[in-house]
Amino acid sequence: MERPFRESEKLVIYGLSQDAHLTDSSLARKFGMKESTVSSIRRRLMDSRQIYFANVPSFHRLGCEMFVQLYGSTNPAVPKDVKDTSHLLFLDETPEIFDSVSGEGFIMMSGVFKSFSDYLEALDRYDRHFMGVRSAERADLKSVFFPLQVSRLRYTYNFAPGLHRIFNLDVPKPEPGRPERLETDTIELSLMEKRTLIHLAEFPHATDAQIAQLLEKSRQTVTNLRKRLEKKGMFTRVCIPLLFTWNIDLIAYVHLRFRPDLDPRTRTELSSEDWIGLSWYTAERDSEVYASYMFRDYRDYVSEMQRMMKPLLDGGVLRSDPNISLVSTAAAKELRDCSFAPMVRKFVGLGNEVRSGKYPRVGL
């Protein structure tokens, strides 16, 4: 069994989950630690992949109109590895799905689509994929739709509030990342900006010099391209803790449906509560919410979920009971994790470019 995180390690993980751009010196000043200690901890955490980084593309600036959450039960009679293998084959053909987790008898997929037609094509592909000999391996999927025009989203992962609670840190609580309205837009990008964005999504740990090798450009050119993309708001860098460790035993994916006659002011006030603030990935519209939570163990899940859901249940604002999919991290498998590059290729019109199969390295 892995040892528990030390307090200093918790602080570094928490600090980077608040701001992935923090330097070692900034973290040291923030938490009253030595810079050499922070550097050692960061290196150790990254080497063991307890933390890693992702450059989350700004999907709404790539012309995307709709987020979709798909989840459902799978056939318990079929071995999990067989079901996982079948779903991986489907995901290889579906670049719009950037995150997917399977558990015992459960699967979840997060996707973003340029149009409803693209979603229907993906769903038809799923049905075709699981016909015949694969029919027993398919999931009984439900889809929850979040069109940008009528939704509020927090799709750049925000683990800080949940980690602050689970780690029980003696530091001020972070500001929760509330979902916000995002306007669908298509930002004009040059060919080199498109290619740079693809590589930033595919190789988030790569330096500008390493990406320059892939693009066959100078490091300074790539630095300028990256800065232009940042100025245009084309991606957000985030730090992701490895949730599938013994420090966090359970993950809950929660789908809520609200009464259609709910007063708009009451609905808005409800979204200021912890049940929104503690979710690391949140999509909501007036009638539905999809949220994600982490818990230390089952006891923590029961007490904390009851606390968060109490104002919703007591207020009689829900259309039906919450649909909670509880996944044990010991049995869970990440089928897709921050798989952004395939969809960026498709969305910017470079889907036929050959994918780089190797991590870029300086000096090759």
Q: Do 146 and 190 belong together in one domain? A: yes
pLDDT at 246 over 70: no
Q: Do 350 and 232 belong together in one domain? A: yes
Query: What pLDDT, on a 0 to 100 scale, did the predictor assign at position 330?
Result: 86
pLDDT 10s digits, 37-61: 999 999 999 998 899 999 999 999 9
Q: Do 157 and 43 belong together in one domain? A: no
Q: Do 28 and 84 belong together in one domain? A: no
When pLDDT is cut at 50, 70 and 90, the band that residue 71 belongs to is very high
Q: Do 30 and 113 belong together in one domain? A: no
Q: Do 290 and 333 belong together in one domain? A: yes
Does a structural domain hold residue 2?
Answer: no
Q: Closest Cα to residue 157, out of 250, 38, 243?
A: 243
Q: How many domains does the chain divide into?
A: 2
Q: Do 155 and 26 belong together in one domain? A: no
**330 or 113, which is more confident?**
113
Q: Do 39 and 150 belong together in one domain? A: no
Q: Where are the beta strands (DSSP E) in 50-158?
A: 51-57, 66-74, 97-103, 106-113, 139-147, 151-154
Query: What pLDDT, on a 0 to 100 scale, did the predictor assign at position 242?
Result: 86
Q: Do 22 and 78 belong together in one domain? A: no
Does a structural domain hold residue 182?
Answer: yes
* Residue range 311-317: mean pLDDT, rounded: 90
**Contact between 118 and 140 (Cβ < 8 Å):** no
Instruction: Report DSSP state, residue 59.
Output: G
Does a structural domain hold residue 75?
Answer: yes
Does a structural domain hold residue 27?
Answer: yes
Q: Do 142 and 207 belong together in one domain? A: yes
pLDDT 10s digits, 126-170: 999 999 999 999 999 999 999 999 999 999 999 999 999 999 999
Does a structural domain hold residue 296?
Answer: yes
Which CATH number does the domain housing residue 34 bear?
A: 1.10.10
What is the span of the domain harbouring residue 304?
Answer: 55-166+174-364
Query: What pLDDT, on a 0 to 100 scale, did the predictor assign at position 360?
Result: 55
pLDDT at 233 over 60: yes
Q: Closest Cα to residue 57, out of 195, 155, 177, 179?
A: 155
Query: What pLDDT, on a 0 to 100 scale, did the predictor assign at position 175?
Result: 85
Does a structural domain hold residue 1?
Answer: no
| Tokens describing residue 324 | 């909670």
Does a structural domain hold residue 59?
Answer: yes
pLDDT at 7 over 60: yes
High-pLDDT (> 90) share of the chain, %: 84
Query: What pLDDT, on a 0 to 100 scale, did the predictor assign at position 351?
Result: 74
Q: Do 137 and 221 belong together in one domain? A: yes
* Range in 87-101, 290-304, 346-360 with the lowest mean pLDDT: 346-360
Query: What pLDDT, on a 0 to 100 scale, did the predictor assign at position 4?
Result: 76
Residues sharing a CB contact under 8 Å with residue 281, sequence separation 6 or more, in sequence order: 110, 154, 155, 157, 158, 291, 292
Radius of gyration of the chain (CA): 21
Does a structural domain hold residue 206?
Answer: yes
Q: Do 221 and 340 belong together in one domain? A: yes
pLDDT at 340 over 70: yes
When pLDDT is cut at 50, 70 and 90, the band that residue 94 belongs to is very high
pLDDT at 34 over 80: yes
Query: What pLDDT, on a 0 to 100 scale, did the predictor assign at position 364?
Result: 31
Residues sharing a CB contact under 8 Å with residue 172, sequence separation 6 or more, in sequence order: none
